[in-house]
A and B are shown apart, each in its own frame.
Chain A
Amino acid sequence: MSITVKTFARLADAAGALSSERGARFLAGGTLVMRAINEADPAIETIVRSTDPTFSHISASSGRVELGAGVTMAAILAERELAFLHPVARGVGGPAVREAATVGGNLFAPSPYGDFAGALLALDATVMFAAGFGQREVPLEEFLRSRERAATLVASVAFKRPPAQTFRFTKVTRVHPKGISVLSIAAQLPLASGRVSGARIAYNAMDKTPVRAKAAERALEGRTLDAAGVAPALAVAADGTAPVDDAIASAWWRREILPVHLRRLLVGAGQA
């Protein structure tokens, strides 16, 4: 079956085409859509693209960071203001994948992919849509719950810049330096008088989409980031998760190793 490619100068026009045409998929970096086309996915009849410069724009000089959905992992690695996100972006494939893989695409990446989306969840990001009739914004957590039904185009994501030294990320893989996630953990850990205040922790590959570790977050509140302080959080680390068996790891193994890596992330490998 032949595929039609439609390229739009304005993101809003691309969003209109995406929502009005059956069998239309939006192509950003191509790591998901081109793969599906190569596998002759019959559901894809039309490729929608956009050359809108706002789609790949980074705004990171103030307290609010906004990333166009077409921003690539390579572009994030080239942006000094986003140094806290460099370990996350560097973990996405090799250099050729990072040149293509986008922030927006990662929001739709099926588990165990989607480490960047997990990091954005820990950062309490919101998602802006390029709807045909203007923009709207929803929390990423809400978006991820219904992303399969998303019938419009993600334009950008935004979040508050985390205070220095409060954002942490770890990715567990079998193959180094590049490997698909067994799981990854992102955490924003603000401290007040040396105690955790308002932690946000997100896991990737511990469910069908990246998920918050709400039980662990609650258990960390008011605690210190040492072995004794994080113990209650580790005890409930896997609460609310539903990992799956896949070619990378079994659900059982993911649950077993999660507290180990959460402890290392929270306390620091040298003290864990």
Chain B
Amino acid sequence: MKTPIQFRLNGEEVAAFVESGANLLDVLRETVGDLSVKGGCWQGTCGTCTVLVDGAPRLSCLTLAEACAGKSIESVAGLRRGADLHPLQNAFMERFAAQCGYCTPGMLMAAKALLDRNPAPTREDVVDAICGNICRCTGYEPIIQAVLDAARGDNRRRA
């Protein structure tokens, strides 16, 4: 059985028919076509499917799509403004905070949730913000530094 729902995705109204019981991750990718949201474990363990729902970080694989009716959802596809990357995206590039890239959408959204609420985080704040997101490549340190750089507005391209 399919249920009609409406929500805002990256500022735009979206209407979709979703399978009853479907998770938000599958709906975003397969019904809406936002492939910027990645699926990893579908168990709430890896964090790569993190999106923001009404500003709060949520694991889209564990979020009932029907429960998102009327809500505002942000995915990594909505971070850039035209040709301008989000400061977090620039900082991730500058710090080589993405290697295989699979965790990157979730890391960026977890970091955005932090900076939206706390523009001047400490290192401990950053570590806590991304502690639900698994990265097997970077060792986390470049990611932590990138988020701190973005918070400081320090993401100038290095020579």
Contacts and interface: CB of A to CB of B under 8 A. Distances in A.
Interface of A: 2-5, 7, 27, 29-31, 34-35, 37-39, 47, 49, 74, 90, 93-97, 99-100, 177-178
A47 B21 CA distance: 7
Determine which residue in B20, B58, B61, B131 has the highest number of CB atoms from chain A within 10 A of its CB, and name it.
B131
Contacts of A49: 64, 67
B129 interface: yes
B19 interface: yes
B105 interface: no
Interface in B108-159: 110, 113-114, 127-133
Chain B interface category by residue count: 20 to 34
Overall SS of chain B's interface: mixed
Contacts of B19: 2
B23 A37 contact: yes
Interface stretch (B9-17, B42-50, B83-91): B42-50
25 contacts: A3-B20, A4-B1, A5-B3, A27-B64, A29-B62, A31-B62, A38-B43, A38-B61, A38-B62, A39-B42, A39-B43, A49-B67, A93-B44, A94-B47, A94-B110, A94-B131, A95-B110, A95-B114, A95-B129, A96-B47, A96-B50, A97-B44, A99-B56, A100-B58, A177-B131
Contact of B21 (A3, A31, A93): A3
A2 B61 contact: no
Given A5-B21, A38-B23, A31 B44 contact: yes
Nearest to B21: A3
B101 to A, nearest CB: 19
A93 B132 contact: yes
Given A35-B43, A35-B44, A178-B132, A96 B20 contact: no
Contacts of A30: 62-64, 67
Contacts of B64: 5, 27, 30, 34, 47, 49
Nearest to A6: B20
Contacts of B20: 2-5
A95 B128 contact: yes
A2 B18 CA distance: 12
Contacts of A5: 3, 20-21, 64, 66
B37 interface: no
B42 to A, nearest CB: 4
B59 interface: yes
B10 to A, nearest CB: 18
